[in-house]
Structure 1
Amino acid sequence: MFEALERIPLEEITARWARCRDLLEVSMPEAGGLFAFTKTNIYWLSGTLTQGVFWLPRQGDPVLFLRRGSERARLESPMANIVEFRSYRDIPRLAAEAGCPLSTVIAAEKGGLPWNLADSLQKNLSETAFLSGDGILARARGVKSAWELDKMRLCGARHHKALHELLPQRIRPGMNEREISLATWQVFFELGHMGHMRMNAFGEEIFLGHVSAGDSGNYPSAFDGPLGLRGEHPALPFMGYRGTIWKERQPLAVDCGFALEGYITDKTQVFWAGPESSITDEARRGHDFCVAVQEWLAENLRPGATPSELYLHCTDWAAREGLSEGFMALAPNTVKFVGHGIGLAVDGWPVIADGFDEPLEENQVVALEPKFGVPGLGMVGVENTFVVTPRGGECITGSDYSIICLE
């Protein structure tokens, strides 16, 4: 009686299963398969967003175990094995009945279960040893297929149109941050934004993004990103505060992701209240430096490049220019990265940061976000989303990185 709004192609998800199995073979050969628990990973592996357990054996067809929603799952997923369960104790029997028995060692998405459910899982599968499979899932999702890249390019094009073309027509100096947030939502929804974005990190949340006028850009932040903000309220430190007015000769930083058909791109657009001639020397210098850093990173966003080396080059560069204080935010808000993977969630693999020594791979997607905090004024800089290619990073969120001046 019903048809799915979209049904993921079987060849798409079988390629994802193959990538996970290849990574298991290389990094965890003792594991006979992989368990996923979070909705995002289950969606990536099955094509349906649901709560449950996804079992990917090293060989044979995987099984999706659901407590409810199996009818919808069968509409949306081309998988053969979708079964309902009541308790974790049912899973070994159901897996065996599906022809895909559990192995004695399983790579599990350990970040995907709270402590109480992990205890229950181990209690009911006491003969199974669990290893951490989080890194395998992160790396597998980090490399995008052509099917995924088509969605992200469309998302990025609409993102650029929203922030660079439409939003400047809806905002002006004198508006407060909340009014600017609502204008941002308006243009986003007009262009198909889904209204919801996801984070991979446990307990992390996002809502629209950050809208920061003036010194809000340097306001103390608990979010792991360089741009500070006051936000709606201490209970929702996102969007913008109605009590902060965007005043003349102040920057306005709009750092808001765009979500389309599940996939997200990241972009920051900086506006200035006043003519271009009124931009302060410090703000101009900081912004120009960030644009130069983004350009250099994009040129070097090639397969085989090492994220940690890219990051250290940028921090050394900032030090040589006398811009260390302010680069990637003023202390103590300073963050220790200049870019992050993105896709089904804002915070993905890889991260352009110290300690990330695995070489980049073709078709990874990375949001580069060099920013600069100016004391007493706010934050300038850029953020755009790039695809790793042999020719360098392909920007999918527009090519104009200048400050937009509004009077």
Structure 2
Amino acid sequence: MKDYPEAGELSKRIQAFQSILQNNNIDGALILQSADIVYFCGTYQNAQLYIPAFGCPVLMVRRSMERIDPTIIPLEVKVFRNSKDIGDILLAKGISESATLGMELDVVPVNIFRRLERIISCSFVDVSQYIKELRMVKSSYEISLLRDSAAMLENVFCSIPGLLKEGISELELAAEIELIARRSGHIGLIRVRGFNQDFYYGSLLAGSNGGVPSYFDGPLGGTGLCPAFPFGVSRHLIGVGEPIMVDYVGTVNGYQVDMSRVFALGYLPDDLLYAQEVAIAIQNTIASHARPGVLWSRLYDMAISMAEEAGLSKYFMGCDEKVKFIGHGIGLELNELPIIGKGINKELQTNMALAIEPKFVFPGRGAVGVENTFIVTPVGLERLSQLTDVEVIV
């Protein structure tokens, strides 16, 4: 179990963000979102973080102060009880009518924003994109946490073949896998940025349930257990010859990795085996071409071309409702930058973390494919898990 990052790690992140604020004539930023507070403070409590363009940031803690160690966090720590206290603290820090204050307007609820608007007299601007771009390049410390999560999740996936048996339900199998994950140190929480993006561990989809489309912005869906949460694992009983797609997120110490594998009892039909081989080939081709300076869209176009050449474009990354990406950044949140997607002409950078997930969805039959988490190095992608990509037949 790792503790707070070293103060120097947090100071570098804060200083990098302050440079962004200075370059964009923003006087300071009020950070409210949990993952962003963890990024700059190394911990999360019921708190709000003010980072000025110049000077020492202040963490305003509502509760619990006794769980904050101000000797470790390289900033000022104050108690606040209500929104007026925040206004008073920011006014003392120089935020007045002529100031420009940044906020994470992609995620801050409107009622909280309106309340702050009434209390703090200044101009507000959105700084969420600056924070997301800062967070997409990982430090060596962050990469070490990703390695911890990958090692845990790889061990969990290695246990799955021993749990498979005909007639077990998806729900029962998921419960057994998730018990092993928790015992292995999985913290359970999957952070996903955005509104109504609830998520739990990941997806386990067998047979026809793997072919059900998703409301979630991903290629896999599933019926879920009830209409109130129609996503993921169901009570479907697993049978011989069905693809069992396990797509789970692993998180230890707050940093997440994403992994998918296909299992089956007895056999898989030849056409699904072929699609699985194509998915692995797409992943490996992307991994061999991805390096700093390569456009995100180029990798996406490469994957689309390979699916078309294989005669499987109809089923690639969804069937009737396809997603427009084949990979995504990952770290404190599941859906970080970069987005390896259509028409996004930005370049890969060293130390980005990304999950590559070529998948094929066959309505009424199921899903196949693969997913691994990689780090962009100066010479290409480094894969965090060495677990075989080939489907496992039990």
Do both share a fold (TM > 0.5)?
yes
Give the counterpart of 1:32 among 27, 36, 53: 27
C-alpha distance in structure 1 between counterparts of 2:257 and 2:295, whole Å: 22
Q: Helix, strand or coil for the counterpart of 1:325?
A: helix
Distance change >3 Å, CA 351–CA 190, structure 1 → 2: same
Aligned to 2:222: 229
Give the counterpart of 2:259 among 267, 272, 297: 267
C-alpha distance in structure 1 between counterparts of 2:90 and 2:6, whole Å: 24
For structure 1, the residue ranges without an aligned partner over 5 or more in a row are none
Distance change >3 Å, CA 301–CA 25, structure 1 → 2: farther
Are 1:209 and 2:198 counterparts?
A: no
Distance change >3 Å, CA 112–CA 87, structure 1 → 2: farther
Q: CA deviation at 1:15?
A: 1.1
Give the counterpart of 1:49 among 31, 36, 44: 44
Question: Given residue 15 of structure 2, which amino acid in structure 1 is its aligned partner?
Answer: A
Aligned to 2:180: 187
Aligned to 1:123: 118
Residues 168-212 of structure 1: CA distance to partner in whole angstroms, max 9, x if unpaired?
A: 112223211011101111221221111111111222111121110
Contact residue 212 and residue 363 of structure 2 kept, 8 A? no
C-alpha distance in structure 1 between counterparts of 2:181 and 2:373, whole Å: 17
How many pairs were matched up? 392
Question: Which TM-score applies when normalising by structure 1?
Answer: 0.91
Aligned to 2:341: 353
Q: Which stretch of structure 1 is more off in the superposition, 257-266 or 72-81? A: 72-81
Question: Given residue 138 of structure 1, which amino acid in structure 2 is its aligned partner?
Answer: K
Are 1:389 and 2:377 counterparts?
A: yes
Are 1:327 and 2:316 counterparts?
A: yes
C-alpha distance in structure 1 between counterparts of 2:231 and 2:311, whole Å: 31
Give the counterpart of 2:68 among 65, 70, 73: 73
Distance change >3 Å, CA 80–CA 176, structure 1 → 2: same
Aligned to 1:7: 4
Q: Helix, strand or coil for the counterpart of 1:91?
A: helix
Are 1:160 and 2:154 counterparts?
A: yes
Q: Helix, strand or coil for the counterpart of 1:393?
A: strand
C-alpha distance in structure 1 between counterparts of 2:125 and 2:289, whole Å: 35
Aligned to 2:330: 342
Q: Helix, strand or coil for the counterpart of 1:111?
A: coil
Aligned to 2:388: 400
Q: CA deviation at 1:5?
A: 7.6
Question: Given residue 124 of structure 2, which amino acid in structure 1 is its aligned partner?
Answer: F
Q: CA deviation at 1:96?
A: 5.4
C-alpha distance in structure 2 between counterparts of 1:7 and 1:252, whole Å: 38
Aligned to 1:368: 356
Q: CA deviation at 1:323?
A: 1.5
Distance change >3 Å, CA 321–CA 23, structure 1 → 2: farther
C-alpha distance in structure 2 between counterparts of 1:359 and 1:33, whole Å: 28
Q: Helix, strand or coil for the counterpart of 2:314?
A: coil
Question: Given residue 65 of structure 1, which amino acid in structure 2 is its aligned partner?
Answer: M
Aligned to 2:275: 286
Give the counterpart of 2:238 among 240, 246, 258: 246
Question: Given residue 8 of structure 2, which amino acid in structure 1 is its aligned partner?
Answer: E
Question: Given residue 154 of structure 1, which amino acid in structure 2 is its aligned partner?
Answer: D
Distance change >3 Å, CA 322–CA 23, structure 1 → 2: farther
C-alpha distance in structure 2 between counterparts of 1:355 and 1:76, whole Å: 46
Are 1:62 and 2:51 counterparts?
A: no
C-alpha distance in structure 1 between counterparts of 2:386 and 2:217, whole Å: 24
C-alpha distance in structure 1 between counterparts of 2:226 and 2:201, whole Å: 14
In angstroms, what is the RMSD of aligned CA positions? 1.9
C-alpha distance in structure 2 between counterparts of 1:56 and 1:170, whole Å: 49
Residues 117-163 of structure 1: CA distance to partner in whole angstroms, max 9, x if unpaired?
A: 1111112112x111110101111111111111111112102211211
Q: Helix, strand or coil for the counterpart of 1:358?
A: coil
For structure 2, the residue ranges without an aligned partner over 5 or more in a row are none
Distance change >3 Å, CA 146–CA 226, structure 1 → 2: same
Are 1:23 and 2:16 counterparts?
A: no
Question: Which TM-score applies when normalising by structure 2?
Answer: 0.94
Contact residue 206 and residue 238 of structure 2 kept, 8 A? yes
Aligned to 1:175: 168
Contact residue 326 and residue 374 of structure 1 kept, 8 A? yes
Question: Given residue 312 of structure 1, which amino acid in structure 2 is its aligned partner?
Answer: D
Question: Given residue 217 of structure 1, which amino acid in structure 2 is its aligned partner?
Answer: G
Contact residue 52 and residue 66 of structure 1 kept, 8 A? yes
Contact residue 264 and residue 344 of structure 1 kept, 8 A? yes
